[in-house]
Amino acid sequence: MLEQLAVFAAGFLTAITGFGFNALSLPLLAVAFEPHHAVVVGLLVGLLIFALVLLLPGVRHAIDSRLVWTLFAWSLLGLPVGARILVLLDDRALRLVIGGLTFVYAAGQLAGLLPTVRASRRATPYVGVLSGLLSSSVSMGGTPVIVYLIGLGGEPRDLRATAVAYVVLSTVGSLVVLSWTGLVDRSAIQDAVALSPAAVAGFALGALTFRYVSRQLFLQLTLVLLAATGLFALIAGLR
């Protein structure tokens, strides 16, 4: 039941923001499953939800394809490193650092204590590498990308479309790399299939809600989601 609720809530918010499925669902999935298994299950179910977001009307036309492919190309350098971290190292320290920084940034933005940082496209390679590393190690690859996209500016539909297009590519890359480690097995696929109906139900509700979301509400919801992602990572790192 806990894992069903996790993917339902993650599916709902992913349909609105275009990211965060894995980061939001993983803390609860890791309670229901062995942590390494939970990462793979989350990636599999998340891939389905991200693909459904791409099928929504107008989403594909709003994608900044050049930016997406540039981010993905650079993320390929970080994916193998992240996979080795997942297999060989304790990820607690990485979760604590990334979770802490994410929470402080998002909470500071929401409280008006930190100014909005304007991003430059010259930072794209660095964001891509960092995203690849975090995607295959702690399922937080979307976090640096959405922070970067907010810094670049744009309308909610464009931000969501570009974010989800990138995360689809990143998730596929993560699963390919993780399959070499043997973590993508029949058990993970079966668990992902079992959780898919709840995730799709959450997605459907989120897709209906998105049409009523203004730019300001979108940015606030995204920052809340980032803060929650950072907090969950901190909790996971302290366990």
| Choice among 23-37, 52-66, 168-182, 189-203 with the minimum mean pLDDT | 23-37
Percent of the chain with pLDDT over 90: 18
Confidence (pLDDT) at 33: 82
CA distance to 90, 123, 143, 161, 225, per residue, from 107 (Å): 27, 23, 14, 24, 10
> What is the band of 95 on the pLDDT scale with cuts at 50, 70, 90?
low
Higher model confidence: residue 194 or residue 93? 194
CB within 8 A of 220, min separation 6: which ones?
110
Confidence (pLDDT) at 57: 84
Task: Please provide the average confidence, as pLDDT, over all residues in the chain.
Answer: 81
> What is the band of 179 on the pLDDT scale with cuts at 50, 70, 90?
confident
Confidence (pLDDT) at 115: 58
CA distance to 98, 112, 178, 219, 231, per residue, from 25 (Å): 17, 28, 19, 21, 13
Mean pLDDT of 210-217: 77
Higher model confidence: residue 155 or residue 55? 55
**What pTM was estimated for this model as a whole?**
0.76
Higher model confidence: residue 59 or residue 194? 194
Where exactly are the structural domains of the chain?
2-238
Alpha-carbon gap, residue 84 to 31, rounded angstroms: 23
Mean pLDDT of 171-190: 85
CB atoms near residue 32 (< 10 Å)? 16
Contact 76, 174 (CB under 8 A): no
Confidence (pLDDT) at 117: 61
3-state class of 96 per DSSP?
A: helix
Q: Assess whether pLDDT exceeds 90 at residue 3.
A: no
Percent of the chain with pLDDT over 70: 89
Confidence (pLDDT) at 113: 65
CB atoms near residue 166 (< 10 Å)? 31
pLDDT tens digits for range 112-154: 765 566 767 888 999 999 888 877 676 677 778 888 888 887 7
